[in-house]
Structure 1
Amino acid sequence: MRDTAKAFGEGPAASIYAGFADLVSIGTCIAEWHAAVVAATSDADRFLRAAKEKASIWLKEYAGREHLLALGEIAANVSSVSTSDDGKAVLSKLAKQPLPLGIFASHPKERPIFDGDHRSVGKEKPKLAVAFVEFTIDGRPVADIQHMAPNVTHDLELHIRISRWPEKAERLVLTPLSVESATLYQLPTFKVSAPSGDPPFTFSVRERAVFSVPQSFFSRPLEFKYGAEFQPLSVEQPVEVVGQRTLRLESVDWQRNPQTGYANIDQRILRIRDELRRWPTVSQDERAICLKLLVNLAKHVGQAVQDNVFPGVWSEGQFQIEVRKALRNDPSIGSALQEHPRSAGGIGDLMFQGVPIELKVETNRTLALEDCKKFIKQTTSYAVGNGKRIGILCVLDTSPKVNPPFPMEEGIGILFREADGYVLPVVTILIQGNLTPPSHFSR
């Protein structure tokens, strides 16, 4: 939109398209605010504050221009946004705003360059941009959420590309920005000295990073954005920053704070936790309840494969006694666990703080995780009956085994029920029982 505005030269359409482009940027902040509120992220209101401040600047910059009155009304409405409906109303007006078919300038005016008393027409310089190509930690590319051991020094390496180097600039400084307390981390400020040769320039810089304290398993990752500026500050500014410059880091100590005692299962639980955080209909409380149950039940997955704690054929009643005992032994669950709760006109197996725990036993054929989909309708019925948007399904497979067990963490995941325009996630735990002794496979 801004490039289009430039193509209109100095006509009225230029300012209309430029003003509309700025309003789209403001609308993006409103959309990010709504998404952050729904996801229950920390300091979600920072996006709304940014939108209102940008709208205030917009009204001052474009004040007094009659051909921008319609856009001005949209900008003025931003200051009164306090609910999601208010934000949607602003975005709806913006989406319906007509734009003129302007006339493009045949000869856009070029900006003259003054050098002492000499006046010459210069060519427009390419954009001054820094592109963040890749972050690596200890030699590995950074994932969407990167886990780092606390109180351990890590190598943080950054690969960047610079479109051109401003005249008289001595260095480029890349600084981490965050709302997190500075006492929790020590992230480096990268400095790049002036290069020689012709642009574009590519650099790799490496520094040390340390997290001071470990995070709780249930806490959100720490988020950082890197900003860029050339020094001294008197040289050409600002710098357009592009690429992936956001780091989402978690300070996790698996040695001191394991969840299940099985590293691969802990990693799988982390991925499930991160996926649930992105699921808009699951509240923060429901997610915490679900993860508490998942950590407890996932221990059975590891123990069952390691020690064959479910030998022979089991009934569903026997399995329920075993699961109930394990959950009640967890001090954070204890007496709050309900057995045979009524919901949706039926009687469930177990329930904790409204989240149903449906138990099933398979004795005829060996199951994979995807095969458990046939049980999730019953689980989601109990969940909806309790006003919840998530449930737990725990399946014990005691069918005769003709093959060795599959990796234990592959029996844990999220299955979904899609019906009538909505989707309900069901955290599913598949326990392998009635295992064949390894020595039998050598006969």
Structure 2
Amino acid sequence: MKNEPNFETFHQAFSSRIEVNAALDGALDASVQDFERLKKACLELETTISIVDKGDVEDQYRAYHAAITIFAILAEWKHAIRNAEQDAQRFLNSAKLKASEAEKSSAFSADERLTIFLDQVAGVKSANELDVIQDHLKQWSLPLLLFANLPLKGFGDGRIPAWNRNSEEPEKLKTTVAFLKFDIDGEPAQQWNYLKPGTSYDLTIEVRVSHWPKGASSLSLKPVTVDIREKDWLPSFSFEKPEGDGPFILTGTGRAVLEIAHSFGSRPYEFLYAAEFDDTTHCRDVAIVGHRRLLLEGSDVNANPLTGFSNVDRHLFSIRDKFRTFPGLHSDDVANTMILLSGLGNIAAQALRDGLFEVGTSESIYQKEATKMLRNRSDIGEDLQGHPAAAGGITDLTFRGIPLELKVENKKALFPKDFKKYFNQTAAYAIGLGKRLGVLSVLEASPKNEPIGIVEDDIEVFMHSSGQSQVIIVVAIIRGGFPKPSTYSR
């Protein structure tokens, strides 16, 4: 038998449905704002569905929730591809597996719109196909959930609602603790977060609790890390039981301090927040969901500068972060490539500042000068080898097995993407040396009639296909051929 109109459930379902629909429109865009909003709305809708029993209308909401949850994974797949994240394909595999495992015996699995959606997911091969699935979800209409079936259980010859506020032993409910977001000094946490060692930052955490377990008086959130000595660098949070009925949104702020800097080539600090109630006797189980991992970068370029030029150092950090997203790279190769790029970045900055290379500088002169300037660095020195053999040819330079190919362009000003004609040669040397990384440095010494050259634009990373192999090519342009600045105004 249907209950009386349940306005609380109606408002919850209606507001979360509206929120899902609003976030759905921009979930595939480059900005992650709508995507994060979609994940949060999915959790809200899940909470509403969890408190209602079976029924035609209720099952329509379950079918829609199943679809929108899988679509959120597909949206994350597209964002991962866009950001060149490591192993982005895992999101597509997860979405397809969830779609294939949709329980055929469930009442809502027969929903025609869900069936169409699951077939669309099964056939996805490219991120460009997600727009069609998105349009299908936008056109998915749902009735109002005003008369909701409440869960019932047997009692004698009759049936009573499972959640009876007068009952001394109500049915145990599942509690979900959802991590909604982290803020660092008021800004949303990113995939990589840079914290200067020894400096205090405000870390704000926001969580959502679907049901507060009976008997529990507090919820604790504690950081977990591999090295126990790092645990106290991030704050723990404790929340007392709020007044009223769930779901609850809880927010806390504490101080975060990375006490020790790590080397430029090492992995960032990684922390995972765990959630725990002080009493779960009357709770069926506690599910912890959402993004609760923080990657914190603790390199200190002020204490240990890479190139001597702060703008170049910052750009090399972004280059290193791109390396981390490529699967299969050896950590030593990444570290050695970054040392080599630190030397090239220093040369590039000096060339722009001091006009080191004249118009028409030959390749032999450039090789001689670049070799001398690189070997002058204490972190490179004798490890820079000249003209070792690789892949049946002779490389220009190698640094601990990383090939460095040197070229010269004296005709016109070009940019990193314009030197793809040299990628195959650089990739062949890298493969011949057993590496998946190669560096191509080009002296661009054409005559200049206007200012040109920003180091941040002149050092760029490319993924190059060579047969069935993927080789990362870093292009570093050194600018030359500059007249005196006063000549530009003549």
User: Shared fold (TM-score greater than 0.5)?
Assistant: yes
Of 107, 116, 132, the residue aligned with 2:179 is 132
What is the identity, as a one-letter code, of the residue corresponding to 1:391? G
1:62 is aligned to: none
* Displacement of 1:184: 7.0
- Cα distance in 2 for partners of 1:287, 1:261 equals 20
After superposition, where does 1:18-29 map in structure 2 within 5 Å?
none
Given the alignment of the two structures, is residue 377 of structure 1 paired with residue 424 of structure 2, yes or no? yes
Q: 1:186 to 1:262 in 2, by over 3 A?
A: same
After superposition, where does 1:227-376 map in structure 2 within 5 Å?
227-236=274-283, 238-376=285-423
2:162 is aligned to: 122
Q: 1:364 to 1:164 in 2, by over 3 A?
A: same
- Cα distance in 1 for partners of 2:102, 2:366 equals 69
Structure 1 window deviating more from structure 2 (355-364 vs 432-441): it is: 432-441
Q: 1:99 to 1:301 in 2, by over 3 A?
A: closer
What is the identity, as a one-letter code, of the residue corresponding to 2:311? N
Q: Is the 8 A contact 1:159 1:202 kept in 2?
A: yes
- Cα distance in 2 for partners of 1:432, 1:100 equals 58
- Cα distance in 1 for partners of 2:373, 2:448 equals 25
Q: Is the 8 A contact 1:184 1:211 kept in 2?
A: no
Q: 1:126 to 1:301 in 2, by over 3 A?
A: farther
Q: Is the 8 A contact 1:391 1:427 kept in 2?
A: yes
Calculate the aligned-residue CA RMSD, in Å.
3.2
Segments of 5+ residues of structure 2 without an aligned counterpart are: 1-45, 47-53, 55-85, 87-92, 109-150, 164-170
After superposition, where does 1:1-400 map in structure 2 within 5 Å?
112=153, 120-123=160-163, 127-183=174-230, 185-236=232-283, 238-400=285-447
Given the alignment of the two structures, is residue 423 of structure 1 paired with residue 440 of structure 2, yes or no? no
Q: Is the 8 A contact 2:424 2:466 kept in 1?
A: no
- Cα distance in 2 for partners of 1:182, 1:235 equals 35
Q: Is the 8 A contact 1:184 1:213 kept in 2?
A: no
Listed one character per residue, the Cα deviations across residues 252-289 of structure 1 (whole Å, up to 9, x for unaligned) are 22221221122222122122222223323322222222
- Cα distance in 1 for partners of 2:386, 2:243 equals 73
Listed one character per residue, the Cα deviations across residues 132-160 of structure 1 (whole Å, up to 9, x for unaligned) are 12111112221212111111111101122
* Displacement of 1:193: 2.2
* Displacement of 1:251: 1.5
Secondary structure at 2:334 match in 1:
helix
Structure 1 window deviating more from structure 2 (148-157 vs 127-136): it is: 127-136
What is the identity, as a one-letter code, of the residue corresponding to 2:368? I
- Cα distance in 1 for partners of 2:185, 2:195 equals 10
* Displacement of 1:120: 4.6
Segments of 5+ residues of structure 1 without an aligned counterpart are: 4-8, 10-40, 42-90
Structure 1 window deviating more from structure 2 (360-369 vs 182-191): it is: 182-191
Secondary structure at 2:257 match in 1:
strand
Secondary structure at 1:330 match in 2:
coil
Q: 1:308 to 1:222 in 2, by over 3 A?
A: same
Q: Is the 8 A contact 1:361 1:395 kept in 2?
A: yes
* Displacement of 1:413: 1.8
What is the identity, as a one-letter code, of the residue corresponding to 1:420? G
1:434 is aligned to: 481
Q: Is the 8 A contact 2:391 2:429 kept in 1?
A: yes
Listed one character per residue, the Cα deviations across residues 62-118 of structure 1 (whole Å, up to 9, x for unaligned) are xxxxxxxxxxxxxxxxxxxxxxxxxxxxx9xxx9xx999986699xxx67499xxx9
- Cα distance in 1 for partners of 2:372, 2:325 equals 32
Q: 1:235 to 1:261 in 2, by over 3 A?
A: farther
- Cα distance in 2 for partners of 1:283, 1:405 equals 35
Q: Percent identity?
A: 39
Q: Is the 8 A contact 1:147 1:249 kept in 2?
A: yes
- Cα distance in 2 for partners of 1:185, 1:407 equals 41
- Cα distance in 2 for partners of 1:237, 1:184 equals 30
- Cα distance in 1 for partners of 2:102, 2:342 equals 58
Q: Is the 8 A contact 1:173 1:229 kept in 2?
A: yes
* Displacement of 1:189: 0.7
Structure 1 window deviating more from structure 2 (328-337 vs 301-310): it is: 328-337
* Displacement of 1:398: 0.6
* Displacement of 1:188: 0.7
- Cα distance in 1 for partners of 2:250, 2:384 equals 57
Q: Is the 8 A contact 1:180 1:222 kept in 2?
A: no
- Cα distance in 2 for partners of 1:130, 1:411 equals 46
Q: Is the 8 A contact 2:152 2:160 kept in 1?
A: no
* Displacement of 1:405: 2.1
What's the TM-score once normalised by structure 2's chain length?
A: 0.64
* Displacement of 1:394: 0.7
- Cα distance in 2 for partners of 1:165, 1:298 equals 55
Q: 1:359 to 1:194 in 2, by over 3 A?
A: same
Listed one character per residue, the Cα deviations across residues 8-54 of structure 1 (whole Å, up to 9, x for unaligned) are x9xxxxxxxxxxxxxxxxxxxxxxxxxxxxxxx9xxxxxxxxxxxxx
What is the identity, as a one-letter code, of the residue corresponding to 2:219? L
- Cα distance in 1 for partners of 2:357, 2:333 equals 30
* Displacement of 1:431: 1.3
- Cα distance in 2 for partners of 1:315, 1:178 equals 53
- Cα distance in 2 for partners of 1:280, 1:363 equals 36
